[in-house]
A and B are shown apart, each in its own frame.
Chain A
């Protein structure tokens, strides 16, 4: 072999990884690295999903392991989709979802916009604002039940102070009209800081020179806000909405702690109802169908939303 720069370079280059590992190809080694993850994914996500789909066509009950399991076809799906109670739970879930997201987006963005100003104590204030989202939902639910207590609750006293309505004349968690709003207030209190942080990241990613250019062009603050701030924060905001939407669609702990689904069924969200069907009534086949319907709903909505999000990013 002649001693050219190319051959010298070839000699200096170490043999590929595969050659050093007993003749395995790079592709094989790549698979070896990925295999544990794929195995875990299959075992923890895909297999249970397939198993759940299978169970959803049966009358299986997990508390009766010795009972005969019958194939019932689409009967579980039919019962769920024609059950007025389940549609009412879906409406409760939608009400909760829409209002919590709307409030969290508006308040979260407003807070982020204010926090983004330079002022003394900015960091301390940011830390204080994010404290609620660091708490456990069970703890938050528990102490809000005290805040909402008509006789000793601070919330009721605050309402009395501002409106003159006697504190013990209304029960936020016991009234059919107030309870759905009570859970929205708590979730908003807890998760608005999360939306605020994402919006803050968006606001801080906008380069100052864009605003400087707008100033030179004599754009008003109002115009700068609508033509620079909002469009550039929108992808972040949409991401926050996606996260909160998925989280609140499966909301369980906070609401169980606050109302247990009551009064009546006014705050019975789909996830709470699903848990009761699956692990209290032990209607495993039926609840599997219920879970699949919820999964398809979330997956479908999330897919549409992600496509919209990508379009916004491309703009």
Chain B
């Protein structure tokens, strides 16, 4: 009996030890399920070969990404050792202790934030914003941009029609109002026997879609969240006359230049509308541009890209993410080793070559960078003027309020733009009061 007990205990101990060793040799990286994530899987094979650590991946579709990952963080879950989380999560990640502060690690391993594009460091890594407190390494630069059917734009009869109507050549729009004219020009037009439409834009209600789309117009008109950064004084900034005009513009674009039924559209629907030949233009994140260019039906010489057009200012809605180490990991050393490996300039160059948007200056400052892809120059231009949504710990409440107000006005025809933005200030004020910041 004693022998059997001893044997059982020994086997159990060995199994436990084996599991612990195996755990040390594995890492789980969490991100959204999209094209760049697939590129990262490929890229990470180099890390596996170099470190001997097996990489596991947990990719969640975008509509559920925030829900799934924030639940994981808030419950102190150990699913993710590394998380490529949205830029807006940085405040909550830092203040609620979900993300590891990386300053000491960066110092000890000679990783300098000066080696990354300043806009990306500000957006993806710092909390409080702009302070040298780093909770992530810029991993995936991104912004909301546009793409269009270059082959349609080039057709002589379409060119002639456009010139006759607007007195100028049909070309990539330089302003938001030009974009609207082009969308309206294509709306309902017959091309190759098929009815096509102007543009596919973000109108989604459930997560962040319509906010990400409408801010493209708002920022271009000069929208600001606060009069004085950090003071939460929103009156006159959020509901300025320019902001009202921008929101009215976005509604007009939706009503007069988009395909029917695109009332709850986000990334996927935008891609579908373009790839199925329904629209002349579409907005989406730069992250999708490599895949769009490679598309056999509508890619290659049929597509071209442009940065979000300016109106009063040149500005684009920020996307993208930084990579953070999750505080609850039981393989901290392995996670930090991955971050160190990922920060290497050579890895960053390979990351860009595989379809990931590196934020490293070794990539972006290369004189040949703009020639590496047809959208590389636009990406650089966009990242020079990106603006992000609130990154406060209460960002989710702030976002849901904006989703509701904007969707109510733009899609559901409720109230005026002025009322929507006034209401938004009231909602945001309540959130900041609850947070003790007002």
List residues of chain A with CB under 8 Å of any chain B CB: 59, 62-66, 148-151, 153, 168-169, 171, 173-174, 176, 256, 259-266, 276, 279-283
Question: B421 to chain A: closest CB distance in Å?
Answer: 16
| A171-B261 contact, Cβ under 8 Å, with A260-B204, A279-B67, A280-B396 | yes
Interface residues of B in 237-279 (CB under 8 A from A): 259-264, 278
Please determine whether B261 and A262 come into contact, CB atoms closer than 8 angstroms. Answer: no
List residues of chain B with CB under 8 Å of any chain A CB: 66-67, 70-71, 73-74, 76, 92, 96-97, 204-206, 259-264, 278, 393-394, 396-397, 400, 404, 407-408, 411-414, 434
Q: Whole-angstrom distance between the alpha carbons of A96 and B71 in the complex?
A: 30
Of chain B, the residue at the smallest CB distance from A64 is: B96
Chain A residues within an 8 Å CB radius of B204: 260
Question: A212 to chain B: closest CB distance in Å?
Answer: 56
User: Which of A171, A261, A265, A280 is B67 in contact with, Cβ under 8 Å?
Assistant: A280
What DSSP secondary structure best describes chain A's contact surface? loop
Q: Whole-angstrom distance between the alpha carbons of A262 and B66 in the complex?
A: 19
Of chain B, the residue at the smallest CB distance from A145 is: B264
Chain A residues within an 8 Å CB radius of B394: 281
| A150-B260 contact, Cβ under 8 Å, with A63-B70, A276-B400, A279-B71 | yes
Please determine whether A262 and B411 come into contact, CB atoms closer than 8 angstroms. Answer: yes
What are 30 sample pairs from A and B whose C-beta atoms fall under 8 A apart?
Answer: A63-B73, A63-B74, A63-B92, A149-B261, A150-B260, A151-B259, A168-B261, A169-B260, A171-B263, A173-B264, A176-B412, A259-B205, A260-B204, A260-B264, A261-B206, A262-B264, A262-B411, A263-B205, A264-B408, A264-B411, A264-B412, A264-B413, A265-B412, A266-B412, A279-B71, A280-B66, A281-B396, A281-B397, A282-B74, A283-B397
Q: Whole-angstrom distance between the alpha carbons of A150 and B96 in the complex?
A: 45
The 10 closest A-B pairs by CB, nearest first: A264-B412, A174-B263, A260-B206, A262-B205, A150-B261, A264-B408, A150-B260, A281-B397, A263-B412, A63-B74
| A66-B97 contact, Cβ under 8 Å, with A264-B412, A264-B414, A276-B400 | yes
Q: Whole-angstrom distance between the alpha carbons of A226 and B397 in the complex?
A: 54
What DSSP secondary structure best describes chain B's contact surface? loop
Chain A residues within an 8 Å CB radius of B397: 280-283
User: Which of B71, B259, B407, B434 is A263 in contact with, Cβ under 8 Å?
Assistant: B407
User: Which of A62, A151, A176, A260 is B205 in contact with, Cβ under 8 Å?
Assistant: A260
Please determine whether A168 and B260 come into contact, CB atoms closer than 8 angstroms. Answer: yes
Chain A residues within an 8 Å CB radius of B67: 279-280
Chain B residues within an 8 Å CB radius of A150: 260-261
Q: Whole-angstrom distance between the alpha carbons of A298 and B407 in the complex?
A: 30
Having A173-B263, A264-B414, A265-B412, one finds 15 other A-B pairs with CB under 8 Å, namely: A63-B73, A63-B96, A151-B278, A173-B264, A174-B264, A176-B412, A176-B413, A259-B205, A262-B407, A263-B205, A263-B263, A263-B407, A276-B400, A279-B67, A280-B400
Chain B residues within an 8 Å CB radius of A176: 412-414
Of chain A, the residue at the smallest CB distance from B430 is: A79
Question: B328 to chain A: closest CB distance in Å?
Answer: 12
| A66-B259 contact, Cβ under 8 Å, with A264-B408, A264-B414, A265-B404 | no
Q: Whole-angstrom distance between the alpha carbons of A168 and B206 in the complex?
A: 24
Please determine whether A174 and B71 come into contact, CB atoms closer than 8 angstroms. Answer: no
User: Among A59, A151, A276, which residue has the most Cβ atoms of chain B within 10 A?
Assistant: A151
Question: A175 to chain B: closest CB distance in Å?
Answer: 8
Question: A5 to chain B: closest CB distance in Å?
Answer: 54
Question: B404 to chain A: closest CB distance in Å?
Answer: 6
Q: Whole-angstrom distance between the alpha carbons of A174 and B73 in the complex?
A: 34
Of chain A, the residue at the smallest CB distance from B436 is: A67
Question: B49 to chain A: closest CB distance in Å?
Answer: 38
Of chain B, the residue at the smallest CB distance from A172 is: B261
Q: Whole-angstrom distance between the alpha carbons of A260 and B259 in the complex?
A: 20
Chain B residues within an 8 Å CB radius of A149: 261
User: Among B96, B260, B394, which residue has the most Cβ atoms of chain A within 10 A?
Assistant: B260
Of chain B, the residue at the smallest CB distance from A175 is: B263
Please determine whether B407 and A264 come into contact, CB atoms closer than 8 angstroms. Answer: yes
Please determine whether B97 and A151 come into contact, CB atoms closer than 8 angstroms. Answer: no
Chain B residues within an 8 Å CB radius of A174: 261-264, 411
Please determine whether A62 and B260 come into contact, CB atoms closer than 8 angstroms. Answer: no
Question: B99 to chain A: closest CB distance in Å?
Answer: 13
Q: Whole-angstrom distance between the alpha carbons of A266 and B70 in the complex?
A: 27
Please determine whether B74 and A261 come into contact, CB atoms closer than 8 angstroms. Answer: no
Q: Whole-angstrom distance between the alpha carbons of A169 and B67 in the complex?
A: 35
Q: Whole-angstrom distance between the alpha carbons of A281 and B70 in the complex?
A: 11
User: Which of B261, B264, B412 is A151 in contact with, Cβ under 8 Å?
Assistant: B261
Chain A residues within an 8 Å CB radius of B71: 279
Chain A residues within an 8 Å CB radius of B70: 63
Of chain B, the residue at the smallest CB distance from A85 is: B404
Of chain A, the residue at the smallest CB distance from B73 is: A63
Chain A residues within an 8 Å CB radius of B261: 148-151, 153, 168, 171, 173-174
Chain B residues within an 8 Å CB radius of A59: 434
Q: Whole-angstrom distance between the alpha carbons of A148 and B412 in the complex?
A: 17
Chain B residues within an 8 Å CB radius of A151: 259-261, 278
Of chain B, the residue at the smallest CB distance from A167 is: B260
Q: Whole-angstrom distance between the alpha carbons of A176 and B259 in the complex?
A: 17
Chain B residues within an 8 Å CB radius of A168: 260-261
Chain B residues within an 8 Å CB radius of A280: 66-67, 396-397, 400
Chain B residues within an 8 Å CB radius of A173: 261, 263-264
Q: Whole-angstrom distance between the alpha carbons of A263 and B394 in the complex?
A: 24
Chain A residues within an 8 Å CB radius of B396: 280-282
Question: A277 to chain B: closest CB distance in Å?
Answer: 9
Question: B241 to chain A: closest CB distance in Å?
Answer: 24
Question: A91 to chain B: closest CB distance in Å?
Answer: 15
Question: B312 to chain A: closest CB distance in Å?
Answer: 28
Of chain A, the residue at the smallest CB distance from B261 is: A150
User: Among A62, A63, A64, which residue has the most Cβ atoms of chain B within 10 A?
Assistant: A63
User: Among A62, A168, A171, A262, which residue has the most Cβ atoms of chain B within 10 A?
Assistant: A262
Question: B71 to chain A: closest CB distance in Å?
Answer: 7
Q: Whole-angstrom distance between the alpha carbons of A162 and B165 in the complex?
A: 38
Q: Whole-angstrom distance between the alpha carbons of A153 and B259 in the complex?
A: 14
Chain A residues within an 8 Å CB radius of B412: 176, 262-266
Q: Whole-angstrom distance between the alpha carbons of A65 and B98 in the complex?
A: 11
Of chain B, the residue at the smallest CB distance from A152 is: B261
Question: B301 to chain A: closest CB distance in Å?
Answer: 27
Q: Whole-angstrom distance between the alpha carbons of A276 and B404 in the complex?
A: 12
Question: B86 to chain A: closest CB distance in Å?
Answer: 13
Question: B58 to chain A: closest CB distance in Å?
Answer: 19
Question: A228 to chain B: closest CB distance in Å?
Answer: 49
Of chain B, the residue at the smallest CB distance from A280 is: B396
User: Which of B96, B404, B413 is A66 in contact with, Cβ under 8 Å?
Assistant: B96
Q: Whole-angstrom distance between the alpha carbons of A63 and B206 in the complex?
A: 20
User: Which of A256, A264, A281 is B206 in contact with, Cβ under 8 Å?
Assistant: A256
